[in-house]
A and B are shown apart, each in its own frame.
Chain A
Amino acid sequence: MKHLSEYRDGAKALKLAAEIARICKGNWAIMEVCGGQTHSIIRNGIDQIVPQNIEMIHGPGCPVCVTPISVIDKALEIAARRNVLFCSFGDMLRVPGTTSDLYRIKGGGGDVRIVYSPLDAVKLARKHPTREVVFLAIGFETTAPANAMAVKIAQQQDIHNFSVLVSHVLVPPAIEAIMNSPGNRVQAFLAAGHVCSVMGFHQYHRLASQYSIPIVVTGFEPLDLLDGIRRAVVQLEAGQSHVENAFPRVVTEAGNEVAQATIDEVFETTDRAWRGIGVIPQSGWRLKPKYAEFDAERRFAVEDIAPEESNACRAGEVLRGALKPHQCEAFGKQCTPRTPLGATMVSSEGACAAYYNYGRFVHP
């Protein structure tokens, strides 16, 4: 962490921006996949210093935003039950379900606790053997290893009052879905650095080749993002489409093989609904049958809950890159961080929240 300032050097950033302006001749639309990248771009004003003929499109990579409302509703139903101790990452507490959110459930007497790791939830299960401890296991490939480990530990230690409500999603199928969607404008991707730190980037070669798109593995600091954009533009101008690693201090081609093995042990791929987008085939993970005992959906019989989304919320279009947050009619009016209609305005990684919190005077 002590080397962070190297990647925030203003003079170097402006030099990179000038370099991008020099090489950029055409009009290009580049999608940053990850919500963390979106926030860094808006918070640091990267979109203000790249040439106007580069459009940054914000991708679906916010784990809070894409968690389907059906999962939120199931979480609310379980968390409200007596004898349940419901654990979640903090970001999820404000996400609106059909009629409520986890904060309200907590206020109404539900035992909802913020944890920083699923392993903390396992500890709570050990500490409270007479209570049902449930962990809301959401996120991309980054959070999956720890969630898988929590299930493994619970099984190894005979902790039977622990279960997980799983809603894991995967980046490569989302990229594929975006490329296949009608009206897609994305011409290059900045792949999420921390996802690749777990999974490597070997699986991106096929996508780059099949869809003829440059994919640049990119970090989160201003210089990381500008270097990612620069490399994408170089490829676009040259008509190339291959995978580049602009985050080598963290990411390797193979990724973290121990973490991948843990995921493979516990999870298997499944079709998964993305909030605002719909079902993407084979885009998520669920527990393997041998870990079914730890599946909260089965344990609490909440499979059939049917949610309702707000008609005014256009988060799905934002997540697909078809709409900028400020182009939504509800943005900043009916929909603010205080009165969010959709998860993209709630999450600290959501594109709408980024525009509202940091960029309202640029995108009024």
Chain B
Amino acid sequence: MKPSTLNIASPLCPVPLRDYPQVILAHGGGGKLSAELIEHIFAPAFANEHVTLLSDSTPLCLPSQRIAVSTDSFVVQPLFFPGGSIGDLAVNGTVNDLAMSGARPMYLTAGFILEEGFEMEQLIRIAKDMGRAARDAGVAIIAGDTKVVERGHGDGCYINTSGIGVLPAERKIAVDQAKPGDAVILSGSVGDHGVAIMSVREGLDFESPILSDCASLADLVQKMLDTSTNIRAMRDPTRGGVAMSLNEIAAASRCGIELDDECIPIKEPVRSACEFLGLDPLLVANEGKLIAIVAKSDADQVLNTMRAHPLGCDAAIVGHVVEDDNQLVVSRTAVGTKRIVSIPVGEQLPRIC
């Protein structure tokens, strides 16, 4: 195998990966090729003081008695999409899960399941995206693993990330803490990620390009926590969208939530795409947005803090928590009536006509 097309730019060492433009089973065998994968792709891309150790485990010092742990697996297709890649998602997804409990994310692990034949150049791009996303989020990727499955037994590249974050003392931020009267704040426009993915997956060309909102929310959350001690709950509305997250909060807190359709920020191209496909934007996935349930007294202050941050500049109070034994999420329509915002049964399917 003597390919000449693989372009591994510095600082990645060109030898011997250049001899293998695609992943082969031996890259997951734990031998020399596995070590070279780590040495020449992952370690330089993730670049931090811990990954150079290359030992079986990484000793850490955590500055708190209370930590948060989260894990998530990423199987998105396509691997690269407008506004991001599976690499960004794998980092930001777990970082955001930690941040939603009020934790400051510190460390991540990364497990790769690669399919034999996967283009090495794509793996390099993914690793670089992960490294950049981790640096942007202020977390270190401290441990990892690579397995290679036979051709046809994977989908190119799957990534699992687990994360550790430090929780502030004396703060409880959880989905069961919402109380009637609290404000529901959304950090920005909904549906961008899901529609961006759909546009490339299904080959749909929209007049305006729709980019994924994939981003780390850790910094935004820290600034919110610094502003208010009365943030009750947070959720990043990923799969299932805003509707899923709010229904989870309503059920866990044994209350209802009332939204106002007209207050929910939706970008015009996303709204149009959803109209075209027959999708409800509230059910479409996001990867860089958060919902915060905040005591009414602090809501405006938190909103101002969010709006001063690049990831919260379109933040809006979209509704409030109400007493409701049925734990329904409802939204006020443009004509002043109410509709239920329900949980999707499975994935949203485009309508027929």
User: Is B335 a contact of A361 with CB atoms below 8 Å?
Assistant: no
A213 vs B308: C-alpha distance when bound (angstroms): 59
User: Is B335 a contact of A17 with CB atoms below 8 Å?
Assistant: yes
CB neighbors of B among A324-364 (8 A): 337-338, 348-349, 356-362
Known: A10-B333, A348-B349. 6 other contacts (CB 8 A): A2-B272, A9-B334, A10-B336, A44-B333, A359-B339, A360-B328
Range of interface residues on B (Cβ < 8 Å): 20 to 34
**A52 → B minimal CB distance (Å):** 14
Known contacts A10-B336, A44-B334, A361-B326: A338-B350 contact under CB 8 Å: no
Known contacts A2-B272, A361-B330: A46-B335 contact under CB 8 Å: yes
For A129, the chain B residues whose CB sits under 8 A away are none
- Asked if B52 lies at the interface with its beta carbon under 8 angstroms from chain A, I say no
Q: Which of B326, B333, B336 has the most CB of A within 10 A?
A: B333
User: Is A1 a contact of B342 with CB atoms below 8 Å?
Assistant: no
CB neighbors of B among A32-68 (8 A): 36, 42-46, 48-49, 63-64
A359 vs B334: C-alpha distance when bound (angstroms): 16
For A214, the chain B residues whose CB sits under 8 A away are none
CB neighbors of A among B312-353 (8 A): 326, 328, 330, 333-340, 342, 345-346, 349-353
Selected from A43, A90, A94, A139, the residue in CB contact (under 8 A) with B339 is: A43
Selected from A10, A138, A337, A349, the residue in CB contact (under 8 A) with B335 is: A10
Known contacts A89-B350, A90-B350, A116-B350: A338-B335 contact under CB 8 Å: no
A1 vs B338: C-alpha distance when bound (angstroms): 24
A140 vs B352: C-alpha distance when bound (angstroms): 10
For B272, the chain A residues whose CB sits under 8 A away are 1-2, 4
Known contacts A338-B345, A361-B330: A45-B339 contact under CB 8 Å: yes
- Asked if A143 lies at the interface with its beta carbon under 8 angstroms from chain B, I say yes
A194 vs B352: C-alpha distance when bound (angstroms): 12
A8 vs B275: C-alpha distance when bound (angstroms): 13
Known contacts A1-B272, A2-B268: A222-B335 contact under CB 8 Å: yes
User: Is A1 a contact of B275 with CB atoms below 8 Å?
Assistant: yes
Q: Which residues of A are interface residues toward B (Cβ below 8 A)?
A: 1-2, 4, 8-10, 13-14, 17, 36, 42-46, 48-49, 63-64, 89-94, 103, 114, 116, 138-140, 142-143, 194, 222, 337-338, 348-349, 356-362
For A89, the chain B residues whose CB sits under 8 A away are 349-352
Task: Give the residue name and chain of the B residue nearest to A4 (CB).
Answer: B275
- Asked if B209 lies at the interface with its beta carbon under 8 angstroms from chain A, I say no
A214 vs B351: C-alpha distance when bound (angstroms): 29
For A1, the chain B residues whose CB sits under 8 A away are 271-272, 275-276
Selected from A91, A138, A338, A359, the residue in CB contact (under 8 A) with B351 is: A91
**B242 → A minimal CB distance (Å):** 15
- Asked if B278 lies at the interface with its beta carbon under 8 angstroms from chain A, I say yes
Q: Which residues of B are interface residues toward A (Cβ below 8 A)?
A: 202, 204, 262, 268, 271-272, 275-276, 278, 326, 328, 330, 333-340, 342, 345-346, 349-353
Task: Give the residue name and chain of the A residue nearest to B279 (CB).
Answer: A348
Consensus secondary structure, chain B interface = loop
Number of inter-chain CB pairs below 8 Å: 102
**B284 → A minimal CB distance (Å):** 14
User: Is A63 a contact of B339 with CB atoms below 8 Å?
Assistant: no
For B328, the chain A residues whose CB sits under 8 A away are 360-361
**B346 → A minimal CB distance (Å):** 7
For B204, the chain A residues whose CB sits under 8 A away are 116
User: Is B339 a contact of A42 with CB atoms below 8 Å?
Assistant: yes
Task: Give the residue name and chain of the B residue nearest to A63 (CB).
Answer: B352
User: Is A48 a contact of B342 with CB atoms below 8 Å?
Assistant: no
For B326, the chain A residues whose CB sits under 8 A away are 361
Top 10 A-B pairs, shortest CB-CB distance: A45-B337, A90-B349, A1-B272, A10-B334, A142-B353, A13-B335, A358-B339, A48-B337, A337-B345, A89-B352
User: Is A348 a contact of B340 with CB atoms below 8 Å?
Assistant: no
**B207 → A minimal CB distance (Å):** 9
User: Is B334 a contact of A4 with CB atoms below 8 Å?
Assistant: no
Known contacts A1-B276, A348-B278: A361-B340 contact under CB 8 Å: yes
**B248 → A minimal CB distance (Å):** 16
A277 vs B17: C-alpha distance when bound (angstroms): 65
User: Is B353 a contact of A43 with CB atoms below 8 Å?
Assistant: no
Selected from B262, B336, B350, the residue in CB contact (under 8 A) with A49 is: B336
A356 vs B342: C-alpha distance when bound (angstroms): 9
For B275, the chain A residues whose CB sits under 8 A away are 1, 4
Selected from A45, A63, A90, the residue in CB contact (under 8 A) with B338 is: A45
A267 vs B80: C-alpha distance when bound (angstroms): 42
Q: Which of A36, A92, A194, A361 has the most CB of B within 10 A?
A: A361
Selected from B262, B336, B337, B351, the residue in CB contact (under 8 A) with A348 is: B351
Task: Give the residue name and chain of the A residue nearest to B352 (CB).
Answer: A89
Q: Which of A17, A44, A116, A358 has the most CB of B within 10 A?
A: A358
A95 vs B276: C-alpha distance when bound (angstroms): 22
For A4, the chain B residues whose CB sits under 8 A away are 271-272, 275
Known contacts A1-B275, A1-B276, A194-B353: A116-B333 contact under CB 8 Å: no
Known contacts A13-B334, A94-B346, A338-B345: A36-B339 contact under CB 8 Å: no
For B345, the chain A residues whose CB sits under 8 A away are 94, 337-338
**B271 → A minimal CB distance (Å):** 7
Selected from A49, A139, A337, the residue in CB contact (under 8 A) with B337 is: A49
User: Is B340 a contact of A358 with CB atoms below 8 Å?
Assistant: yes
**A308 → B minimal CB distance (Å):** 24
A188 vs B30: C-alpha distance when bound (angstroms): 74
User: Is B340 a contact of A116 with CB atoms below 8 Å?
Assistant: no
Task: Give the residue name and chain of the B residue nearest to A47 (CB).
Answer: B337
For B336, the chain A residues whose CB sits under 8 A away are 10, 14, 45, 49
